[in-house]
Structure 1
């Protein structure tokens, strides 16, 4: 049933609130007047605290007992993307917790060739959890195509699980600000990234060129800007869409682009390869993955922006370790178009 209580959900709330205060288990135990072993048992879901212990833990964490331990209601699930429409009944979903919020996102094909494993399906009452579903994990939103590769290499269950939601940089940052994602992937030219919100910590992931994928000769910028050819492009909040507008402006071309608005870089490249459009705004690696030519416009810095409350989340370290692992790094280099110098390093300025 949608919204049913799962063992361990309360423990994860305790853990996330503790990490938000940057406390160790020992520090929480001292503040609440309980043993460290009790804190560890509650966080792992092995132990339901006594009434007295629950009151003490809630007081130490600055919240009510109900916020920590009450079963969630039928209406606690929210979409990661606030503008997400209501799915059709039966749509497979990924489900996870971000702080006090339980969130869902439609689950598409994992790699374009097979079915992905769902946590829930949409019902008339909202997400209906499937048997064996995991609601733990680290929710990261962004348009980096290789996030799916990192998720596949990460654990399939537990707090180290990576839940990837594909969205533009702007929409991803909005999800983090709303408390519906732990982190967002943001990209843009060096020195021209969006303003960094307070309470966000950043790590570099890569650098790659943004430009136009095409099959054979590239359409002229004047044709693209005048809407004389169909171009697969992105929503206004996407870093690649902004690159398109800057490129057209620099060439003195109009910005009356016509064509479908697509969900991500791979979707743009695939639509171009299928001959549905004359070109697609995307990355060099996405174009190469489907055998297309590529005309670069800008080099973009790709960064992971994390809500400071979740810097110590197990999924955060899993993401960076997986991204920088020899297995993933080798595949990114094989794809081409990725510069990985500085990958995994915290950005201090």
Structure 2
């Protein structure tokens, strides 16, 4: 046996011996592909449930795959991403068979109390929420707080919606740190771009659930009466810049004809609006909802489709099923249609990548 083979995780060795891809094992075990990848790379110690599912799919024992000397599944916790300080508040959730701790952030419309406090690497639990009662989403929908409130009322589950651009959200999904990643690269002219992006970044075995269609465009000061997109591209010198990898940044780069660098990077549509309203930027790309709520002038550039991406292995998870039911409900679709620039005609549509 070669050195490379001897260093393989037993799960990877058994999977390859059967001629399976990670997608194959993911579907057979009902575990997200990102979790399979993390287990094989040694980045994730699976829960008891996930370990049994993988072992059953591979037709061998848990001990053969994970060894009797491994840390007991279900007893380990890890930070989903590094907190700003050694001590602080956190939320917790189960993703891919692992319990993750999420540093508390200011989330859109969120009223969730923290689940505990970490002091000098010691956890002090305080919440009655079970990790499997929480759905974790990463995306840049400014109406995510509204979705979280409706989701909790309709399902009894909790939704943590972390503000992230589409590229960053897909990276978190790939690493098995969130259940759902939102992206909005599809346009009327290129309706399959969301699916193509997921396929390029993550491969197959994913679902796209339509959240809404919306207008993206240029936010300008209220007193600015510019009517031409081309005039904005020529005249504006100081733009509010979103991060590279976000659809809003891609839209701006296309308007300007080339990528532009900036020392200040903004991480949300709302931050773009605040920059324009505060006067340190002349204009920025965001969705109509944020611009109108802030009383800014808005020039529509394109219509986009906002899709929620999740692993096919998660489709029967009660948390995902509750999300699908909510988006397909008449009351939710009516509410989305009433938001400026939003269209719920295809909300709840589900496609396979």
**TM-score (norm: length of structure 2):** 0.70
**Aligned-partner SS, 1:220:** helix
Q: Deviation of residue 344 (structure 1)?
A: 0.5
Contact 2:136/2:161 (8 A) holds in 1: yes
Question: Which runs of structure 2 are paired with 1:190-269 in the superposition (5 Å)?
Answer: 190-193=191-194, 194-196=197-199, 197-216=203-222, 217=224, 220-224=232-236, 228-229=237-238, 231-249=239-257, 255-258=259-262, 260-269=264-273
User: Counterpart of 1:290?
Assistant: 294
- Secondary structure of 2:131 counterpart: coil
Determine the structure 2 residue equivalent to 1:310. Answer: 314
Residue 179 of structure 1: SS of its match in structure 2? coil
Deviation at 1:158, TM superposition (A): 8.8
How many equivalent residue pairs?
290
State the secondary structure of the residue aligned to 1:237.
Answer: coil
1:173 is aligned to: 170
Of Structure 1 and Structure 2, which has the larger fraction of its residues in helix? 2
Question: For the aligned residues, what is the CA RMSD?
Answer: 3.5
| Cα distance between partner residues in 1 of 2:26 and 2:253 | 44
Pairing 1:64–2:66 present: no
Q: TM-score, normalised by structure 1?
A: 0.71
* Change over 3 Å in CA distance of 1:57–1:237 after alignment to 2: closer
Structure 2 CA distance for aligned equivalents of residues 155 and 115 of structure 1:
11
1:170 CA drift (Å): 1.0
- C-alpha separation between the residues in 1 aligned to 2:338 and 2:95? 34
Q: Distance in 1 between matches of 2:74 and 2:343?
A: 46
Q: CA deviation at 1:292?
A: 1.6
After TM superposition, give the deviation of residue 277 of structure 1 in Å.
2.5
1:125 and 2:121 aligned: yes
| Alignment check: 8 A CA contact 1:20 1:310 kept | no
Q: Deviations over 1:26-77 (max 9, x none)?
A: xxxxxxxxxxxxxxxx98xxxxxxxxxxx9888536562778974423xx31
Once residues 319 and 27 of structure 2 are traced to their aligned partners in structure 1, the CA distance between those partners, rounded to angstroms, is 13
After superposition, residues 316-331 of structure 1 pair within 5 angstroms as: 316-331=320-335
- Offset at 1:186? 1.2
Could you say if the C-alpha distance between residues 132 and 160 of structure 1 is closer, same or farther in structure 2, counting changes exceeding 3 Å? closer
Gaps of 5+ in 2: 1-24, 32-47
Q: 1:97 aligns with which of 74, 94, 99?
A: 94
Structure 1 portions without partners, runs of 5+: 1-16, 24-41, 44-54
Q: CA deviation at 1:121?
A: 3.3
Q: 1:60 to 1:157 in 2, by over 3 A?
A: farther
How does 1:26-105 map onto structure 2 within 5 Å? 60=56, 64=62, 70-73=73-76, 76-79=77-80, 84-105=81-102
